[in-house]
Amino acid sequence: MFTTDDRLQRLLRSRSLHPHRFNASCEIGPFVVAHVCPERSLIVELVQAGERQRQQQRAAFLAGLGYTVLRICPRELQRHPRRALRRVRAALAAHT
């Protein structure tokens, strides 16, 4: 059985996202981001429960460096993976 992070990793390796590539677990400043597409400055992460203020500060820091953070709910990923994939594609297209 796949964990939610495994599902996200598989989604980001989808052929439909070609030629875009995502790197896993990269350090950007003081933060470690789960998945980043460096050519589009797009970070894709699973929504984490709690610590909303810290997440907002982190997102603001990353935005200041030119990154967009796309957060995907684990429930959406499990129940509607195609919808999650469409959101990633749309975010990639927005950064052309």
Taking only the tens place, the pLDDT of each residue in 8-35 is 999 999 888 999 999 989 999 999 999 9
For residue 16, the model assigns a pLDDT of 86
Q: Tell me the CB-side half-sphere exposure of residue 40, using CA atoms within 13 A.
A: 25
Q: Which CATH number goes with the domain that contains 20?
A: 3.40.960.10
What's the Cα-to-Cα distance from 14 to each of 38, 50, 54, 89, rounded to whole Å?
A: 17, 30, 31, 11
pTM for this entry: 0.90
Give the model confidence (pLDDT) of 23-70 as tens digits: 989 999 999 999 999 999 999 999 877 677 888 888 899 999 999 999
Domain that includes residue 89, residue range: 4-94
Structurally, how many domains does the chain consist of?
1
